[in-house]
Amino acid sequence: MSQLLEVSGVSVSFDGFKAINNLSFSIGEAEMRAIIGPNGAGKTTFMDIVTGKTKPNAGTVLWGEMSRNLIGMNEAKIARIGVGRKFQRPTVFEDQSVFDNLMMAVKNTRAPWSVLFFKPKFKDIAKVEELASEIGLSDQLKRKSGELSHGQKQWLEIGMLLAQDPRLLLVDEPAAGMTLAEREHTTDILKRTAKTRAVVVVEHDMEFVRRLECKVTVLHEGSVLAEGSLDHVTANPQVIEVYLGR
């Protein structure tokens, strides 16, 4: 599998405290990866670095075939070259319908001047319908987004991110607050998504991680503590000591 993202020797300090400490690992194209680790391990800071929100003190984050360094690029540029991020709390426009939310996301993929004169065309409507089908909300298109369940709002937001056609989707604790059925549906969406792009999921819920059936990276004190299948990392005595045994 060729690499899409290669994090090398990355360190970040906040007031002298090393939140990320010589972090190195890579993510392949069309790969699903789970990142786990105790509170404060650096999972969120890792996502902040990849998306350009936090600038590291050292290291490189190389992207794509051209090995472009994401460090030094601003957040908007990183989003444009194909990094999408799903935060824990859904941020859909609650007063707008599911259709309108998805259409806005489709529209946002255009150059700013063309948005001014945007009129949905058949192809845009077809795109919205395709996205709705991917996230399982085809029968909810006319509903106001504020009326959706917590899980449905999360799926809508994933759909809005997919409208941007990212090559890497970073997802922060997707299972939080979901019912079992919602978790299963979320797993399906993420697995399907990871067939055509890289998906990195930060999650504390081990049952959810197991269902993703993917390679797992364990972070601890800002570095990789263990990596491999879930069975492999959960049998690691150090992982048990710092994370699972608590």
Ligand X SMILES: Nc1ncnc2c1ncn2[C@@H]1O[C@H](COP(=O)(O)OP(=O)(O)OP(=O)(O)O)[C@@H](O)[C@H]1O
Which CB atom, from 132 or from 171, has the smaller least distance to ligand X?
171
Instruction: Report if residue 19 touches ligand X, rule: CB under 6 A.
Output: yes
Question: How far is it, in rounded angstroms, from Cα 114 to Cα 134?
Answer: 26
44 contributes a contact to ligand X by CB under 6 A = yes
Please answer whether residues 10 and 24 qualify as being in contact, where contact means their C-beta atoms are separated by less than 8 angstroms.
yes
Minimum distance from residue 28 beta carbon to ligand X (Å): 22
Distance CA 207, CA 226 (A): 18
* Strand 198-202, strand 168-172: pairing: parallel
CA distances from 146 to 91, 133, 164, 171 (A): 11, 19, 22, 21
Whose Cβ is closer to ligand X: residue 101's or residue 223's?
223
CB closer to ligand X, 124 vs 172? 172
Size of interface with ligand X, in residues (CB under 6 A)? 10
Whole-number Å distance between alpha carbons of 158 and 163 = 9
Phi first, then psi: give them for residue 9, nearest 5 degrees: 55, 40
Assess 45 for contact with ligand X (CB under 6 A): yes
Q: Distance between CA atoms of 46 and 235, rounded to whole angstroms? A: 24
Is 105 a binding residue for ligand X by CB under 6 A? The answer is no
Q: Is 174 in the site for ligand X (CB under 6 A)?
A: no
Query: How many CA atoms within 13 Å lie on the side-chain side of 227?
Result: 10
Q: Does 41 bind ligand X (CB under 6 A)?
A: yes
CB of 8 to ligand X, least distance (A): 18
> Judged by CB under 6 A, which of 1, 9, 14, 146 binds ligand X?
14
Nearest approach, Cβ of residue 225 and ligand X (Å): 12
- Residue 16 CB, nearest approach to ligand X (Å): 10
When asked if residue 22 is in the footprint of ligand X (CB under 6 A), the reply is no
Residues making contact with ligand X (CB under 6 A): 14, 19, 37, 39-45
